[in-house]
Structure 1
Protein backbone atom coordinates (compact mmCIF):
# COMPACT_ATOMS: atom_id res chain seq x y z
CA UNK A 1 0.00 0.00 0.00
CA UNK A 2 1.27 3.40 -0.93
CA UNK A 3 1.51 5.96 1.89
CA UNK A 4 -1.07 8.85 1.89
CA UNK A 5 0.50 12.20 1.50
CA UNK A 6 0.22 14.36 4.68
CA UNK A 7 -1.51 17.20 2.85
CA UNK A 8 -4.25 14.97 1.46
CA UNK A 9 -4.87 13.46 4.89
CA UNK A 10 -5.21 16.84 6.47
CA UNK A 11 -7.61 17.95 3.73
CA UNK A 12 -9.80 14.86 4.30
CA UNK A 13 -9.93 15.47 8.03
CA UNK A 14 -10.92 19.08 7.48
CA UNK A 15 -13.65 18.13 5.04
CA UNK A 16 -15.07 15.61 7.51
CA UNK A 17 -15.03 18.16 10.29
CA UNK A 18 -16.85 20.68 8.04
CA UNK A 19 -19.57 18.15 7.16
CA UNK A 20 -19.96 17.22 10.82
CA UNK A 21 -20.29 20.85 11.79
CA UNK A 22 -22.94 21.47 9.13
CA UNK A 23 -24.93 18.48 10.37
CA UNK A 24 -24.77 19.75 13.94
CA UNK A 25 -25.95 23.21 12.84
CA UNK A 26 -28.91 21.78 10.92
CA UNK A 27 -29.90 19.67 13.93
CA UNK A 28 -29.82 22.73 16.23
CA UNK A 29 -32.03 24.71 13.80
CA UNK A 30 -34.55 21.88 13.61
CA UNK A 31 -34.70 21.72 17.40
CA UNK A 32 -35.47 25.47 17.50
CA UNK A 33 -38.16 25.35 14.82
CA UNK A 34 -39.91 22.13 15.85
CA UNK A 35 -40.40 21.91 19.64
CA UNK A 36 -39.94 18.57 21.33
CA UNK A 37 -43.08 16.44 21.72
CA UNK A 38 -43.30 17.34 25.40
CA UNK A 39 -43.42 21.14 24.66
CA UNK A 40 -46.06 20.61 21.94
CA UNK A 41 -48.36 18.74 24.33
CA UNK A 42 -48.00 21.48 26.94
CA UNK A 43 -48.85 24.14 24.33
CA UNK A 44 -51.97 22.25 23.21
CA UNK A 45 -53.05 21.81 26.81
CA UNK A 46 -52.57 25.53 27.45
CA UNK A 47 -54.59 26.42 24.35
CA UNK A 48 -57.43 24.12 25.40
CA UNK A 49 -57.38 25.58 28.92
CA UNK A 50 -57.53 29.15 27.62
CA UNK A 51 -60.34 28.25 25.20
CA UNK A 52 -62.36 26.66 28.03
CA UNK A 53 -61.77 29.74 30.20
CA UNK A 54 -62.91 32.03 27.37
CA UNK A 55 -66.10 29.99 26.91
CA UNK A 56 -66.77 30.09 30.65
CA UNK A 57 -66.32 33.88 30.71
CA UNK A 58 -68.63 34.24 27.70
CA UNK A 59 -71.31 32.21 29.47
CA UNK A 60 -70.87 34.29 32.64
CA UNK A 61 -71.21 37.56 30.71
CA UNK A 62 -74.38 36.28 29.01
CA UNK A 63 -75.79 35.22 32.39
CA UNK A 64 -75.03 38.60 33.98
CA UNK A 65 -76.52 40.42 30.98
CA UNK A 66 -79.71 38.38 31.30
CA UNK A 67 -79.93 39.21 35.02
CA UNK A 68 -79.38 42.90 34.25
CA UNK A 69 -82.11 42.85 31.58
CA UNK A 70 -84.52 41.17 34.01
CA UNK A 71 -83.84 43.72 36.72
CA UNK A 72 -84.15 46.62 34.29
CA UNK A 73 -87.46 45.20 33.04
CA UNK A 74 -88.69 44.73 36.60
CA UNK A 75 -87.63 48.28 37.52
CA UNK A 76 -89.41 49.72 34.46
CA UNK A 77 -92.55 47.75 35.33
CA UNK A 78 -92.39 49.00 38.92
CA UNK A 79 -92.07 52.60 37.74
CA UNK A 80 -95.01 52.15 35.35
CA UNK A 81 -97.17 50.65 38.10
CA UNK A 82 -96.19 53.47 40.45
CA UNK A 83 -97.24 56.08 37.87
CA UNK A 84 -100.53 54.27 37.23
CA UNK A 85 -101.21 54.05 40.96
CA UNK A 86 -100.51 57.76 41.43
CA UNK A 87 -102.81 58.63 38.51
CA UNK A 88 -105.57 56.44 39.94
CA UNK A 89 -105.17 58.05 43.37
CA UNK A 90 -105.37 61.54 41.89
CA UNK A 91 -108.46 60.71 39.84
CA UNK A 92 -110.08 59.04 42.85
CA UNK A 93 -109.25 62.07 44.99
CA UNK A 94 -107.64 60.00 47.74
CA UNK A 95 -104.41 62.06 47.80
CA UNK A 96 -103.95 65.84 48.08
CA UNK A 97 -102.65 67.50 44.91
CA UNK A 98 -101.13 70.79 43.92
CA UNK A 99 -100.47 72.56 40.65
CA UNK A 100 -101.46 75.53 38.48
CA UNK A 101 -105.05 76.33 37.64
CA UNK A 102 -107.81 78.84 38.38
CA UNK A 103 -109.77 80.04 41.38
CA UNK A 104 -113.41 81.00 40.94
CA UNK A 105 -115.29 83.15 43.44
CA UNK A 106 -119.05 82.74 42.91
CA UNK A 107 -121.85 84.32 44.92
CA UNK A 108 -125.48 85.33 44.54
CA UNK A 109 -124.61 89.02 44.30
CA UNK A 110 -127.79 90.95 43.50
CA UNK A 111 -129.56 88.06 41.80
CA UNK A 112 -133.28 87.78 42.64
CA UNK A 113 -134.44 84.57 44.38
CA UNK A 114 -135.26 82.78 41.15
CA UNK A 115 -131.70 83.26 39.83
CA UNK A 116 -129.62 82.43 42.89
CA UNK A 117 -127.07 79.64 42.84
CA UNK A 118 -128.32 76.06 43.00
CA UNK A 119 -126.83 72.59 42.83
CA UNK A 120 -127.45 72.62 39.06
CA UNK A 121 -125.18 75.65 38.66
CA UNK A 122 -122.39 73.93 40.56
CA UNK A 123 -122.79 70.75 38.49
CA UNK A 124 -122.60 72.82 35.29
CA UNK A 125 -119.42 74.48 36.60
CA UNK A 126 -117.81 71.12 37.40
CA UNK A 127 -118.71 69.73 33.97
CA UNK A 128 -117.30 72.80 32.19
CA UNK A 129 -114.05 72.57 34.11
CA UNK A 130 -113.65 68.84 33.49
CA UNK A 131 -114.36 69.28 29.79
CA UNK A 132 -111.67 71.98 29.66
CA UNK A 133 -109.05 69.69 31.18
CA UNK A 134 -109.32 70.14 34.94
CA UNK A 135 -107.56 67.27 36.72
CA UNK A 136 -108.71 68.09 40.25
CA UNK A 137 -111.57 70.28 41.53
CA UNK A 138 -112.73 71.41 44.95
CA UNK A 139 -115.71 73.48 46.10
CA UNK A 140 -115.27 75.25 49.44
CA UNK A 141 -112.44 72.82 50.21
CA UNK A 142 -114.52 69.74 49.32
CA UNK A 143 -112.73 67.52 46.78
CA UNK A 144 -115.01 66.67 43.87
CA UNK A 145 -114.68 63.12 42.56
CA UNK A 146 -116.75 60.71 40.50
CA UNK A 147 -118.59 59.70 43.69
CA UNK A 148 -119.17 63.22 45.02
CA UNK A 149 -122.73 64.33 45.56
CA UNK A 150 -123.86 67.86 44.83
CA UNK A 151 -127.55 68.27 45.61
CA UNK A 152 -130.02 70.83 46.82
CA UNK A 153 -131.42 70.32 50.33
CA UNK A 154 -133.87 72.98 51.54
CA UNK A 155 -131.97 76.29 51.75
CA UNK A 156 -128.47 74.88 51.34
CA UNK A 157 -126.45 72.64 49.03
CA UNK A 158 -124.98 69.34 50.16
CA UNK A 159 -121.47 68.58 48.90
CA UNK A 160 -119.93 65.31 50.07
CA UNK A 161 -122.43 65.12 52.98
CA UNK A 162 -121.45 68.65 54.04
CA UNK A 163 -123.88 71.58 54.02
CA UNK A 164 -122.55 74.50 51.99
CA UNK A 165 -123.91 77.95 51.24
CA UNK A 166 -122.83 80.70 48.82
CA UNK A 167 -120.36 82.25 48.31
CA UNK A 168 -118.49 79.36 46.75
CA UNK A 169 -114.74 79.14 46.18
CA UNK A 170 -114.01 76.72 43.34
CA UNK A 171 -110.43 75.63 42.73
CA UNK A 172 -109.47 73.71 39.61
CA UNK A 173 -106.01 72.37 38.75
CA UNK A 174 -105.29 72.18 35.04
CA UNK A 175 -104.21 74.44 32.15
CA UNK A 176 -105.01 77.88 33.64
CA UNK A 177 -105.75 79.84 30.47
CA UNK A 178 -107.78 77.04 28.91
CA UNK A 179 -109.89 76.69 32.06
CA UNK A 180 -110.44 80.44 32.25
CA UNK A 181 -111.35 80.70 28.56
CA UNK A 182 -113.87 77.86 28.91
CA UNK A 183 -115.75 79.84 31.56
CA UNK A 184 -115.43 83.32 30.04
CA UNK A 185 -116.35 82.59 26.42
CA UNK A 186 -119.43 84.44 25.10
CA UNK A 187 -122.60 82.79 26.41
CA UNK A 188 -120.63 80.85 29.01
CA UNK A 189 -121.15 80.58 32.76
CA UNK A 190 -119.47 83.88 33.58
CA UNK A 191 -121.49 85.98 31.15
CA UNK A 192 -124.77 84.25 32.06
CA UNK A 193 -124.11 84.70 35.78
CA UNK A 194 -123.35 88.38 35.35
CA UNK A 195 -126.49 88.89 33.26
CA UNK A 196 -128.59 87.28 35.99
CA UNK A 197 -127.06 89.40 38.76
CA UNK A 198 -124.70 86.84 40.26
CA UNK A 199 -121.12 87.84 41.09
CA UNK A 200 -118.33 85.72 39.62
CA UNK A 201 -114.59 86.26 39.22
CA UNK A 202 -112.03 83.95 37.64
CA UNK A 203 -108.37 84.29 38.64
CA UNK A 204 -105.33 82.50 37.28
CA UNK A 205 -103.21 80.79 39.93
CA UNK A 206 -99.65 79.51 39.49
CA UNK A 207 -100.09 77.14 42.42
CA UNK A 208 -103.17 75.69 44.07
CA UNK A 209 -103.53 72.98 46.71
CA UNK A 210 -106.58 70.75 46.71
CA UNK A 211 -107.14 68.40 49.66
CA UNK A 212 -107.93 64.71 49.48
CA UNK A 213 -111.34 63.26 50.08
CA UNK A 214 -112.17 60.37 52.34
CA UNK A 215 -111.98 57.13 50.39
CA UNK A 216 -115.45 55.55 50.31
CA UNK A 217 -116.01 51.99 51.45
CA UNK A 218 -117.48 49.82 48.71
CA UNK A 219 -119.83 46.97 49.59
CA UNK A 220 -121.19 45.84 46.22
CA UNK A 221 -118.83 46.86 43.41
CA UNK A 222 -116.11 44.28 42.68
CA UNK A 223 -113.12 44.66 40.40
CA UNK A 224 -112.70 42.45 37.35
CA UNK A 225 -115.13 40.63 35.07
CA UNK A 226 -118.19 38.96 36.53
Structure 2
Protein backbone atom coordinates (compact mmCIF):
# COMPACT_ATOMS: atom_id res chain seq x y z
CA UNK A 1 0.00 0.00 0.00
CA UNK A 2 2.73 2.44 0.92
CA UNK A 3 4.66 1.35 -2.09
CA UNK A 4 1.61 2.11 -4.31
CA UNK A 5 1.28 5.59 -2.79
CA UNK A 6 4.95 6.28 -3.37
CA UNK A 7 4.62 5.22 -7.03
CA UNK A 8 1.77 7.70 -7.56
CA UNK A 9 3.41 10.61 -5.79
CA UNK A 10 5.73 11.61 -8.66
CA UNK A 11 3.11 11.58 -11.46
CA UNK A 12 0.66 13.52 -9.31
CA UNK A 13 3.31 16.10 -8.53
CA UNK A 14 4.13 16.49 -12.22
CA UNK A 15 0.48 16.89 -13.13
CA UNK A 16 0.06 19.52 -10.43
CA UNK A 17 3.08 21.45 -11.70
CA UNK A 18 1.83 21.26 -15.29
CA UNK A 19 -1.65 22.39 -14.24
CA UNK A 20 -0.19 25.32 -12.32
CA UNK A 21 1.90 26.33 -15.33
CA UNK A 22 -1.13 26.23 -17.64
CA UNK A 23 -3.15 28.34 -15.22
CA UNK A 24 -0.30 30.85 -14.97
CA UNK A 25 0.11 30.93 -18.77
CA UNK A 26 -3.60 31.52 -19.28
CA UNK A 27 -3.53 34.40 -16.80
CA UNK A 28 -0.52 35.98 -18.53
CA UNK A 29 -2.15 35.57 -21.95
CA UNK A 30 -5.30 37.27 -20.72
CA UNK A 31 -3.17 40.09 -19.33
CA UNK A 32 -1.36 40.51 -22.67
CA UNK A 33 -4.66 40.57 -24.57
CA UNK A 34 -5.98 43.28 -22.27
CA UNK A 35 -2.78 45.31 -22.74
CA UNK A 36 -2.99 44.93 -26.53
CA UNK A 37 -6.60 46.09 -26.49
CA UNK A 38 -5.60 49.11 -24.44
CA UNK A 39 -2.74 49.97 -26.84
CA UNK A 40 -5.06 49.55 -29.83
CA UNK A 41 -7.58 51.88 -28.22
CA UNK A 42 -4.87 54.48 -27.50
CA UNK A 43 -3.53 54.26 -31.05
CA UNK A 44 -7.02 54.67 -32.46
CA UNK A 45 -7.44 57.78 -30.36
CA UNK A 46 -4.09 59.12 -31.58
CA UNK A 47 -5.03 58.45 -35.22
CA UNK A 48 -8.31 60.29 -34.77
CA UNK A 49 -6.42 63.21 -33.25
CA UNK A 50 -3.93 63.28 -36.16
CA UNK A 51 -6.78 63.12 -38.70
CA UNK A 52 -8.59 65.96 -36.96
CA UNK A 53 -5.43 68.11 -36.95
CA UNK A 54 -4.77 67.34 -40.63
CA UNK A 55 -8.28 68.36 -41.58
CA UNK A 56 -7.88 71.63 -39.68
CA UNK A 57 -4.53 72.32 -41.38
CA UNK A 58 -6.05 71.54 -44.77
CA UNK A 59 -8.81 74.09 -44.18
CA UNK A 60 -6.19 76.68 -43.19
CA UNK A 61 -4.04 75.94 -46.27
CA UNK A 62 -7.05 76.32 -48.53
CA UNK A 63 -7.80 79.69 -46.96
CA UNK A 64 -4.13 80.76 -47.32
CA UNK A 65 -4.21 79.68 -50.96
CA UNK A 66 -7.35 81.73 -51.58
CA UNK A 67 -5.77 84.83 -49.99
CA UNK A 68 -2.55 84.43 -52.01
CA UNK A 69 -4.50 84.11 -55.25
CA UNK A 70 -6.34 87.32 -54.45
CA UNK A 71 -3.05 89.09 -53.69
CA UNK A 72 -1.50 87.79 -56.92
CA UNK A 73 -4.48 88.94 -58.95
CA UNK A 74 -4.31 92.36 -57.31
CA UNK A 75 -0.56 92.59 -58.02
CA UNK A 76 -1.11 91.70 -61.67
CA UNK A 77 -3.78 94.36 -62.02
CA UNK A 78 -1.51 96.89 -60.33
CA UNK A 79 1.39 96.08 -62.66
CA UNK A 80 -0.96 96.50 -65.60
CA UNK A 81 -1.89 100.03 -64.55
CA UNK A 82 1.17 101.33 -62.69
CA UNK A 83 3.66 102.79 -65.26
CA UNK A 84 6.61 102.48 -62.87
CA UNK A 85 5.96 98.81 -62.08
CA UNK A 86 5.30 98.08 -65.74
CA UNK A 87 8.66 99.65 -66.67
CA UNK A 88 10.43 97.57 -63.99
CA UNK A 89 8.76 94.42 -65.35
CA UNK A 90 10.02 95.23 -68.87
CA UNK A 91 13.55 95.74 -67.53
CA UNK A 92 13.43 92.35 -65.83
CA UNK A 93 12.15 90.71 -69.01
CA UNK A 94 15.01 92.25 -71.00
CA UNK A 95 17.49 91.12 -68.37
CA UNK A 96 16.12 87.55 -68.49
CA UNK A 97 16.17 87.60 -72.29
CA UNK A 98 12.47 86.84 -72.66
CA UNK A 99 11.85 90.22 -74.32
CA UNK A 100 12.95 90.92 -77.92
CA UNK A 101 15.01 94.11 -78.12
CA UNK A 102 16.47 96.49 -80.66
CA UNK A 103 19.15 99.15 -80.60
CA UNK A 104 22.58 100.19 -81.84
CA UNK A 105 25.42 97.72 -81.72
CA UNK A 106 27.75 95.66 -83.86
CA UNK A 107 27.24 92.64 -86.06
CA UNK A 108 30.17 90.22 -86.32
CA UNK A 109 30.42 87.71 -89.13
CA UNK A 110 32.89 84.82 -88.74
CA UNK A 111 33.51 82.24 -91.48
CA UNK A 112 35.61 79.25 -90.42
CA UNK A 113 34.94 77.16 -93.57
CA UNK A 114 37.79 78.59 -95.60
CA UNK A 115 40.62 76.27 -96.57
CA UNK A 116 42.94 78.75 -94.91
CA UNK A 117 41.28 78.19 -91.53
CA UNK A 118 43.55 76.12 -89.28
CA UNK A 119 40.58 74.72 -87.36
CA UNK A 120 36.84 75.47 -87.02
CA UNK A 121 35.34 77.37 -84.09
CA UNK A 122 34.72 75.25 -81.02
CA UNK A 123 32.10 75.75 -78.28
CA UNK A 124 34.87 77.15 -76.05
CA UNK A 125 35.81 79.65 -78.77
CA UNK A 126 32.21 80.84 -79.08
CA UNK A 127 31.83 81.11 -75.30
CA UNK A 128 35.02 83.21 -75.18
CA UNK A 129 33.74 85.56 -77.92
CA UNK A 130 30.45 86.02 -76.05
CA UNK A 131 32.23 86.69 -72.76
CA UNK A 132 34.37 89.35 -74.45
CA UNK A 133 31.22 91.11 -75.67
CA UNK A 134 29.71 90.89 -72.18
CA UNK A 135 32.91 92.33 -70.74
CA UNK A 136 32.59 95.20 -73.23
CA UNK A 137 29.13 96.00 -71.85
CA UNK A 138 26.84 94.31 -74.37
CA UNK A 139 23.24 94.56 -73.15
CA UNK A 140 21.89 91.82 -75.42
CA UNK A 141 23.67 89.18 -77.52
CA UNK A 142 22.58 86.55 -80.02
CA UNK A 143 24.41 84.10 -82.25
CA UNK A 144 22.73 82.84 -85.41
CA UNK A 145 19.36 83.85 -83.99
CA UNK A 146 19.80 82.30 -80.54
CA UNK A 147 19.50 84.76 -77.64
CA UNK A 148 22.24 84.42 -75.02
CA UNK A 149 20.82 84.27 -71.48
CA UNK A 150 22.12 83.22 -68.08
CA UNK A 151 21.17 79.57 -68.60
CA UNK A 152 22.52 79.30 -72.15
CA UNK A 153 24.66 76.22 -72.73
CA UNK A 154 27.10 76.02 -75.66
CA UNK A 155 28.04 72.41 -76.32
CA UNK A 156 29.29 70.10 -79.05
CA UNK A 157 26.91 67.41 -80.27
CA UNK A 158 28.56 64.63 -82.21
CA UNK A 159 31.76 65.51 -84.02
CA UNK A 160 30.92 68.92 -85.47
CA UNK A 161 27.44 70.22 -84.52
CA UNK A 162 27.42 73.09 -82.01
CA UNK A 163 24.26 73.56 -79.96
CA UNK A 164 23.24 76.84 -78.33
CA UNK A 165 20.13 76.62 -76.15
CA UNK A 166 19.92 73.00 -77.47
CA UNK A 167 19.53 74.38 -81.05
CA UNK A 168 22.16 73.68 -83.77
CA UNK A 169 23.76 76.96 -84.91
CA UNK A 170 26.66 75.99 -87.21
CA UNK A 171 25.76 75.50 -90.82
CA UNK A 172 27.72 73.64 -93.45
CA UNK A 173 26.55 75.82 -96.33
CA UNK A 174 25.68 79.42 -97.05
CA UNK A 175 25.79 81.40 -93.83
CA UNK A 176 28.72 81.78 -91.40
CA UNK A 177 28.44 82.51 -87.68
CA UNK A 178 26.72 85.80 -87.00
CA UNK A 179 27.10 87.47 -83.62
CA UNK A 180 24.81 90.42 -82.82
CA UNK A 181 25.54 92.59 -79.78
CA UNK A 182 23.58 95.67 -78.67
CA UNK A 183 25.49 98.26 -76.66
CA UNK A 184 27.92 101.14 -77.05
CA UNK A 185 29.20 100.62 -80.58
CA UNK A 186 32.64 102.19 -80.06
CA UNK A 187 33.37 100.13 -76.94
CA UNK A 188 32.11 96.87 -78.43
CA UNK A 189 34.08 97.42 -81.66
CA UNK A 190 37.26 98.35 -79.79
CA UNK A 191 37.19 95.38 -77.41
CA UNK A 192 36.30 92.78 -80.01
CA UNK A 193 38.77 94.06 -82.60
CA UNK A 194 41.71 94.09 -80.19
CA UNK A 195 40.93 90.99 -78.11
CA UNK A 196 39.37 88.60 -80.62
CA UNK A 197 39.34 89.63 -84.28
CA UNK A 198 43.10 89.64 -84.77
CA UNK A 199 43.47 86.12 -83.31
CA UNK A 200 40.64 84.77 -85.45
CA UNK A 201 42.24 86.21 -88.60
CA UNK A 202 45.62 84.72 -87.66
CA UNK A 203 43.91 81.32 -87.53
CA UNK A 204 42.75 81.80 -91.12
CA UNK A 205 39.12 82.65 -90.33
CA UNK A 206 37.32 85.45 -92.14
CA UNK A 207 36.01 88.17 -89.82
CA UNK A 208 33.98 91.28 -90.55
CA UNK A 209 32.48 93.76 -88.07
CA UNK A 210 29.70 96.21 -88.93
CA UNK A 211 28.02 98.96 -86.93
CA UNK A 212 24.27 98.46 -87.18
CA UNK A 213 20.94 99.04 -85.54
CA UNK A 214 20.05 95.51 -84.55
CA UNK A 215 16.98 93.51 -83.59
CA UNK A 216 17.72 90.63 -81.22
CA UNK A 217 15.03 87.99 -80.64
CA UNK A 218 13.79 86.79 -77.29
CA UNK A 219 14.88 83.55 -75.63
CA UNK A 220 12.51 80.81 -76.81
CA UNK A 221 13.37 78.25 -74.15
CA UNK A 222 11.86 77.79 -70.70
CA UNK A 223 13.33 78.45 -67.28
CA UNK A 224 13.01 75.39 -65.03
CA UNK A 225 14.12 75.50 -61.40
CA UNK A 226 14.10 72.14 -59.63
CA UNK A 227 16.27 72.93 -56.62
CA UNK A 228 16.57 76.72 -56.38
CA UNK A 229 13.79 78.38 -54.39
CA UNK A 230 13.23 82.04 -53.48
CA UNK A 231 14.26 83.13 -49.98
CA UNK A 232 11.25 84.44 -48.07
CA UNK A 233 12.34 87.34 -45.79
Give the TM-score band, short-chain normalised. Answer: 0.5 to 0.7
Moved more, 211-220 or 81-90: 211-220
Higher Cα Rg, which structure: 1
Residues 169 and 112 (structure 1), Cα distance of their counterparts in 2 relative to 1, 3 Å cut = closer
C-alpha deviation, 1:177, in angstroms: 1.4
CA distance in 2 between partners of 1:225 and 1:131 (Å): 32
Unpaired runs of 5+ in structure 1?
Answer: 1-73
Residue 111 of structure 1: how far off its partner (Å): 4.2
| CA-atom RMSD in angstroms | 2.2
Aligned to 2:53: none
Q: Check if 1:196 corresponds to 2:203.
A: yes
Separation (CA, whole Å) in 2 of partners of 1:110 and 1:132: 31
Assess if the C-alpha contact under 8 Å between 1:107 and 1:117 holds in 2.
no
> What is the match of residue 216 of structure 2?
210
Between 1:156-165 and 1:209-218, the stretch displaced more is 209-218
User: What's the offset of the Cα at 1:164?
Assistant: 2.0
Does residue 88 (structure 1) correspond to residue 92 (structure 2)? The answer is yes
CA, structure 1 residues 180+146, in 2 after alignment: closer, same or farther (shift >3 Å)?
same
What is the TM-score when the length of structure 2 is the normalising length?
Answer: 0.59
Shift in alpha-carbon separation, 1:112–1:106, aligned structure 2, 3 A: closer
Q: Which runs of 5 or more structure 2 residues have no equivalent in the other structure?
A: 1-77
Secondary structure of the structure 2 residue equivalent to 1:152: strand
Q: Which residue of 1 aligns with 2:163?
A: 158
Q: Deviations over 1:131-161 (max 9, x none)?
A: 1111111100000100111112221111111
- Measured against aligned partners, the alpha-carbon deviations of 1:4-46 in whole angstroms (never above 9, x if no partner) come to xxxxxxxxxxxxxxxxxxxxxxxxxxxxxxxxxxxxxxxxxxx
Q: Check if 1:148 corresponds to 2:152.
A: yes
Number of equivalent positions: 148
Give the Cα–Cα distance (whole angstroms) in 2 for the partners of residues 164 and 125 of structure 1: 15
User: Taking structure 1 as the reference length, what is the TM-score of the superposition?
Assistant: 0.60
- Answer yes or no: is the 8 Å Cα contact 1:110–1:198 preserved in 2: no
Q: Secondary structure at the match of 1:122?
A: helix
